[in-house]
Chains A and B, each alone.
Chain A
């Protein structure tokens, strides 16, 4: 894999991380799946977390596409995506969500399991994502090893490609993955699936250090297990972006269970706490 010029490597979303770094803080990335509690409400929730005049919100939205066999997802996200599928969410609904988020000015990445892209048609998916204003993809079960068509499609349609690395990744695989990414690298901070955890792990810090040792310019987002402002501040002290999913999804699952699926107030409260966390003094330590 060839090394790309630095400007190209930042893509659409790496620039967002770089701008936050210049502002002395890590970026906040918020994940929500399309279709839970229903497509319209999920899209409303995604646009809501991009913030308002009074609330800073997230810097990037990660739009999840529900899948029947989500091997990297823990119980909370599974609950939401299983409901979304039962309620009829389709792959094409992702583009509706992307368009709505992009219209707010906050960039949107799509997190999607590979078979859904392949069945849509890789190039067609890239084309439709780009024309909806999407920034690129996060691919949980696609690594650079099998990514030939995606590398081509993302080049042709100017999309970011965020691959994951893990504490178990060998140095060679870290190097190959960094070389294949455009935008930033998603560092899974623990060996495990998505879900909130009481403590963030030392493995995340070590993994970021290994990435930096390999390439100091690489933009790194850290996810898995972050659920509150204090954890976001801690992770943000060594990462360029903090990724939060299950803690946001939990609020929507709880609201749905309580028969108030449209109630986004708990979601807003969690995002406020996280947004404050990445702006706190520890969070501002950056690099």
Chain B
């Protein structure tokens, strides 16, 4: 293990690096805006008025604090470990995305910006951004790969209902990474009045840092809730990782708790040994993408490879630089979960707890089942206490689930009418 400085609030450093990861690999035209954003966030962080405004929105708009639910029947399918879920699925707009969006939108207003732009894959972050724009009376443009606008028409309509303009991106692979490129191009040309509201802990500094801080509320609440209910810290904290924002939020306040094991579950798609997955840390190499040095799925030359996951929210060929660093430092462990295992966990949680999770979150649940079963095989000691972030709800995924499980939407049987 190389000698690393201690992870935690100390990073990123002043130049936006998490050791060798992160940084700012962007056109010069954007540096002024990134500098302005960093300064605005630093000032806002020290301003009690900003914190109070954000806190008010969290309580009275998002519905925070989100509850902590013990998943007793699901835990039985995970080797009998005690599983508690942090219920980000119960937030307004249905996922953790709103935590970051409200923070950045407040920041944008503070900077005098009147327009928000965002990239989105499945549409969750786009919907959250369009929501904040509606709330604050700002213009909003959401970039979405053409492949995704075609398969997520419902979310396109939701964004349009909220007053946002949705732009289908035909460039490159026509998915999330290309939507991010297009948002970046828009921002280069519109930076004087526009804020680019990145949806995850990725991109150039200061985004990985400020998005982590806006998502930190997940672990701040969860840590206190677990302590209050169980009188101790969890043994394991788990979350799914695409770009990695719900995971960074879930890990943040536990990073200094050395006895708490952190697990990130990436999208293994059809398997990390195939070329159809999105498990960047498990199956990628160190490179530069979207303004940061991090783990990237790429070919021998460094051209970005297309990722694959049944979960559009995890279908991204990069990952936040702090995760790359936590992996290298050995502070967090990352594993890949296949489409099949995630969908099975989705069905199991729904049947055992009456909670339909997002497919993204189902990756974390499947990972928890694996960890629990491994513990059960070792068969010693008290069952560990596992905290898992239920990052989003699965309403948006019903169509995918219908086709995956071979349902056809017809009733099981018919009754009444004529004999």
| Interface residues in chain A, defined as those with a beta carbon under 8 Å from any beta carbon in chain B | 67-72, 74-75, 78, 82, 85, 90-91, 114-116, 118-120, 140-143, 145-146, 163-170, 173, 177, 188, 190-193
Taking a contact as CB atoms under 8 Å apart, the answer to whether B303 and A85 are in contact is yes
Inter-chain CA distance A70–B192, complex, in Å, is: 22
| Interface residues in chain B, defined as those with a beta carbon under 8 Å from any beta carbon in chain A | 15, 23-33, 35, 171-173, 177-178, 181, 184-185, 188-192, 285, 287-291, 296, 298, 300-304
Contacts of A90 in B (CB 8 A): 301
Which of A68, A82, A166, A190 interacts with B28 by CB under 8 Å?
A: A166
Which of A72, A120, A143 interacts with B31 by CB under 8 Å?
A: A143
Which of B28, B171, B190, B303 interacts with A164 by CB under 8 Å?
A: B28
Which of B24, B188, B296, B303 interacts with A143 by CB under 8 Å?
A: B24
- Do A69 and B177 contact each other (CB < 8 Å), given the known contacts A120-B302, A193-B189? yes
Inter-chain CA distance A168–B181, complex, in Å, is: 20
**What are 19 A-B residue pairs whose CB atoms fall within 8 Å in the complex?**
A71-B290, A72-B185, A82-B171, A85-B303, A91-B302, A116-B301, A119-B300, A141-B288, A141-B291, A143-B24, A143-B28, A145-B15, A145-B24, A145-B31, A164-B27, A167-B29, A168-B31, A191-B189, A191-B192
User: For residue A192, which residue of chain B has the nearest CB?
Assistant: B189
Contacts of A91 in B (CB 8 A): 301-302
Most buried by B among A85, A115, A120, A188: A115
Taking a contact as CB atoms under 8 Å apart, the answer to whether A193 and B185 are in contact is yes
Taking a contact as CB atoms under 8 Å apart, the answer to whether A119 and B27 are in contact is no
Taking a contact as CB atoms under 8 Å apart, the answer to whether A115 and B289 are in contact is yes
A interface: dominant SS: loop
Contacts of A169 in B (CB 8 A): 28-29, 31-32
Min CB gap A19→B, angstroms: 27
- Do A168 and B32 contact each other (CB < 8 Å), given the known contacts A69-B290, A143-B24, A146-B25? yes
Known: A143-B31, A170-B35, A193-B185. 15 other contacts (CB 8 A): A71-B290, A91-B302, A116-B301, A116-B302, A116-B303, A119-B287, A164-B27, A166-B27, A167-B29, A168-B29, A169-B28, A169-B32, A191-B29, A191-B191, A192-B188
Taking a contact as CB atoms under 8 Å apart, the answer to whether B185 and A71 are in contact is yes
Count how many pairs of residues, one from A and one from B, have CB atoms less than 8 Å apart in the complex. Answer: 116
Which of A68, A71, A75, A173 interacts with B27 by CB under 8 Å?
A: A71
Contacts of A141 in B (CB 8 A): 25-27, 288, 291
Contacts of A115 in B (CB 8 A): 287-289, 296, 298, 302
Inter-chain CA distance A252–B184, complex, in Å, is: 26
Min CB gap A81→B, angstroms: 10
Min CB gap A186→B, angstroms: 9
Most buried by B among A68, A70, A72, A74: A68
- Do A168 and B302 contact each other (CB < 8 Å), given the known contacts A69-B177, A119-B287? no
Inter-chain CA distance A74–B178, complex, in Å, is: 13
Min CB gap B260→A, angstroms: 33
Inter-chain CA distance A154–B349, complex, in Å, is: 57
User: For residue B288, which residue of chain A has the nearest CB?
Assistant: A115
Q: Which 3 residue pairs across A and B have the least CB separation, nearest first?
A: A119-B302, A166-B29, A192-B189
Min CB gap B102→A, angstroms: 27
Inter-chain CA distance A90–B190, complex, in Å, is: 33
Inter-chain CA distance A156–B170, complex, in Å, is: 41
Inter-chain CA distance A119–B285, complex, in Å, is: 10
Taking a contact as CB atoms under 8 Å apart, the answer to whether A67 and B181 are in contact is no
Contacts of B288 in A (CB 8 A): 114-115, 118, 141
Taking a contact as CB atoms under 8 Å apart, the answer to whether A168 and B185 are in contact is no
Taking a contact as CB atoms under 8 Å apart, the answer to whether A193 and B188 are in contact is yes
Inter-chain CA distance A61–B180, complex, in Å, is: 30
Contacts of A191 in B (CB 8 A): 29, 188-192
Inter-chain CA distance A67–B25, complex, in Å, is: 15
Taking a contact as CB atoms under 8 Å apart, the answer to whether A163 and B28 are in contact is yes
Contacts of B301 in A (CB 8 A): 90-91, 116, 119-120
User: For residue B286, which residue of chain A has the nearest CB?
Assistant: A118
Inter-chain CA distance A75–B170, complex, in Å, is: 10
User: For residue A143, which residue of chain B has the nearest CB?
Assistant: B28
Taking a contact as CB atoms under 8 Å apart, the answer to whether A68 and B25 are in contact is no
Contacts of A193 in B (CB 8 A): 185, 188-189
Which of A68, A72, A85, A120 interacts with B188 by CB under 8 Å?
A: A72
Inter-chain CA distance A141–B289, complex, in Å, is: 10
Taking a contact as CB atoms under 8 Å apart, the answer to whether B189 and A69 are in contact is no
